[in-house]
């Protein structure tokens, strides 16, 4: 028997309603911010991630799925979305579009070879957004507001943004010199990876998962203290616009992001939820003004963020997120072989008209058919047998009101649509077509609710 690979999972029909609801919320909020969906390949040239993300990042050095194809080319399953979107932006010359600021979002699978744990997998889904073409701090503030708005739309309200600035290239060089000098005599006390980073990319030491809580790193110089004047002004602008929008934030001077392409603003969004506990970071992002040019494109600034959707779905467990309910408009019960042709025609008509519909394919007994209709949460149940065929009629029952009627079989679709548009039953509501005939008009009705 074959089993799924370690670090992957099957998303079963009982859970897909939640994912569809989550993705629809993402798309709706993205539309509000005027971000358009982009879809890039899962496979990219390996060099794209080495140049874009950074040779010395854990993602590239330890976690990517790399392979040589039959054409002797080195390929990588994408570990993140930003580099691929930047590549597409350059390759398709979107920088020459009539709209100077290009704004995208994506939802798709990413791949990293890391230790699987709750909410973290080797194949995982990511939602991200990228905006190219403006260095305005307003765009940084917008992208943060966008991320927070997605959470608010999902009813995750206790949210805090942690924000910092690592400055432009000049500021990063000045800070790197100070950090090297500070760590010089104690670098041997840090992990082996940090000792390698000290030589190749000292800023990466601040993102170390092993030593980040040591006093040495806690007391290290802060990037924000080495910003040049233009970087200070940019960060002050971001803070000003966050204040104007009423977005809750704290300036975290220790915050750096783990990818080499970041410049200026970096941020994380934390959600205070029981399921997340202390590890409550749910989104991360920042500005990357040098990424496009480093990949061979024009000098174009950019800013973005990403969510891991499995982690987001894990967070939603705290608020009992239900997602889309599973239901049918119609469950059709066919009695007898001779009636199946008519039944399939009626079923198809209802489906083409937009009604979710199903039928019994196993010729179960009536008890089994009704059980299946209940399990599938069908609003209407219709019965079509030999007698109904002879008379050109069909029996239909509204499971929510218990109203039963016998109608022309050609009116099945129209009847259901009419009932869906007028959910409150008319007349006495006792389930009769003609209350005077069936209940004698003796029942007391209040607002369409039968009190017989």
pLDDT tens profile 112-156: 998 877 767 999 999 999 999 999 999 999 999 999 999 999 999
Give the residue carrying structure tokens 């000003």.
240
Q: Which of 45-59, 284-298, 318-332 has the lowest mean pLDDT?
A: 45-59
pLDDT for res 258: 63
Q: Name beta bridge partners: 398.
A: 380
Domains in the chain (CATH in brackets) are 13-168+228-319 (3.30.930.10), 328-435+445-450 (3.40.50.800)
Q: What pLDDT shows up at residue 420?
A: 93
Average pLDDT over residues 310-337: 88
Pair 361, 372: CB distance under 8 Å = no
pLDDT of res. 216:
87
pLDDT at 78: 94
Going edge to edge, which strands form the sheet with 263-271? 36-37, 102-111, 123-132, 302-308, 281-287, 263-271, 159-165, 249-251
131 phi and psi angles, rounded to 5 deg: -130, 125
With 50 as the cut, is the pLDDT of residue 90 above it? yes
Angstrom distance (rounded) from CA 53 to CA 66 = 15
- pLDDT at residue 197, rounded to an integer: 80
Strands 74-77 and 445-446: unpaired
**Which is higher by pLDDT, 81 or 433?**
81
Strand pairing partners for 308?
Answer: 126
User: Which H or E element spans position 302?
Assistant: strand 302-308
- Mean pLDDT, to the nearest integer, of 156-180? 91
Residue 415 has pLDDT above 70, yes or no: yes
Residues whose CB falls within 8 Å of the CB of residue 369, separated by 6 or more in sequence, listed in order: 331, 333, 360
What pLDDT sits at residue 417?
A: 96
**Which pLDDT does position 452 carry in this prediction?**
40
Which of 52-56, 207-211, 381-385, 430-434: highest mean pLDDT?
A: 381-385
With cut-offs at 50, 70 and 90, classify the pLDDT of residue 436: very low
pLDDT band per the 50, 70, 90 thresholds, residue 411: very high
Residue 275 is predicted with a pLDDT of: 74
Residue pair 324/18 in contact (Cβ under 8 Å)? The answer is yes
Q: What is the DSSP letter of 62?
A: I
Mean model confidence pLDDT for the chain: 88
pLDDT band at residue 447 using 50, 70 and 90 as cut-offs = very low
- The whole-number pLDDT of residue 207 equals 73
- What pLDDT digit, counting tens, does each position of 207-240 carry? 777 877 788 888 888 899 999 999 999 999 999 9
The CA dihedral of 412, 416, 422, 426, to the nearest 10 degrees, is 50
Is residue 50 pLDDT above 90, yes or no? no
Q: 156: Cβ–Cβ under 8 A, 6 or more apart, which residues?
A: 271, 273, 315, 316, 319
Q: Residue 127: what are its φ and ψ, rounded to 5°?
A: -110, 125
CB neighbourhood size of 328 (10 A) = 18
Instruction: Identify the pLDDT of residue 396.
Output: 97
Mean pLDDT of the region 412-435: 68
Whether residue 58 is predicted with pLDDT greater than 70 in this model: the reply is: no
For residue 438, what pLDDT is reported? 44
Find, among 285, 284, 279, the residue nearest to 315 by Cα. Answer: 279
Nearest CA to 136 out of 228, 237, 229 is that of 237
Residue 368, Cβ neighbours under 10 Å: how many?
A: 12
């Amino acid at each position: 028997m074959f089993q799924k690979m370690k670090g992957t999972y099957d998303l079963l029909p009982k859970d897909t309603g939640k994912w569809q609801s989550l993705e629809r919320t993402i798309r709706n909020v993205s539309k509000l911010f005027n971000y358009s969906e982009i879809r890039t390949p899962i496979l990219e040239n390996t060099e794209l991630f080495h140049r874009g993300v950074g040779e010395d990042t854990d993602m590239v050095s330890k976690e990517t799925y790399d392979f040589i194809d039959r054409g002797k080319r080195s390929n990588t399953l994408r570990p993140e979305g930003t580099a691929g979107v930047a590549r597409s932006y350059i390759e398709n010359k979107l920088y020459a579009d009539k709209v100077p600021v290009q704004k995208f979002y994506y939802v798709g699978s990413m791949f990293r070879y890391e230790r699987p744990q709750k909410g973290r997998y080797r194949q995982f889904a990511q939602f991200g957004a990228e905006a190219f073409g403006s260095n305005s701090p307003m765009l940084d503030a917008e992208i943060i507001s966008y991320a927070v708005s997605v959470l608010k739309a999902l009813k995750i309200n206790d949210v805090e943004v942690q924000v910092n600035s690592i400055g432009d290239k000049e500021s990063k060089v000045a800070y790197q010199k100070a950090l090297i000098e500070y760590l010089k005599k104690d670098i041997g006390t840090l992990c082996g990876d940090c000792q390698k980073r000290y030589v190749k990319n000292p800023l990466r030491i601040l993102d170390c998962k092993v030593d980040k809580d040591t006093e040495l790193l806690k007391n290290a110089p802060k990037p924000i203290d080495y910003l040049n004047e233009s970087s200070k002004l940019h960060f002050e602008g971001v803070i000003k616009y966050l204040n104007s929008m009423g977005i809750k934030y704290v300036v975290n001077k220790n915050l750096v992001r783990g990818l080499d392409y970041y410049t200026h603003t970096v941020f994380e969004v934390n959600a205070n939820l029981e399921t997340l506990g202390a590890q409550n970071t749910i989104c991360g992002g920042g500005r990357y003004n040098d990424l496009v040019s480093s990949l061979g494109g024009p000098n174009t600034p950019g800013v973005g963020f990403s969510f891991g959707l499995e982690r987001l779905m894990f967070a939603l467990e705290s608020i009992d997120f239900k997602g889309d309910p599973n239901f049918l408009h119609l469950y059709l019960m066919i009695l007898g072989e001779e009636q199946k042709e008519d039944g399939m025609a009626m079923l198809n008509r209802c489906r083409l008209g937009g009604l979710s519909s199903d039928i019994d394919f196993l010729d179960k007994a009536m008890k089994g058919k009704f059980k299946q209709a209940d399990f599938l949460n069908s609003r209407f149940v219709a019965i079509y047998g030999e007698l109904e065929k002879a008379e050109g009629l069909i029996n239909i029952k509204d499971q929510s009101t218990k109203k039963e009627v016998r109608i022309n079989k050609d009116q099945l679709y129209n009847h259901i649509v009419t009932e869906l548009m007028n959910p409150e039953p008319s007349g006495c509501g006792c389930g009769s077509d003609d209350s005077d005939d069936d209940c004698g008009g003796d029942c007391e009705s209040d607002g369409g609710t039968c009190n017989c």
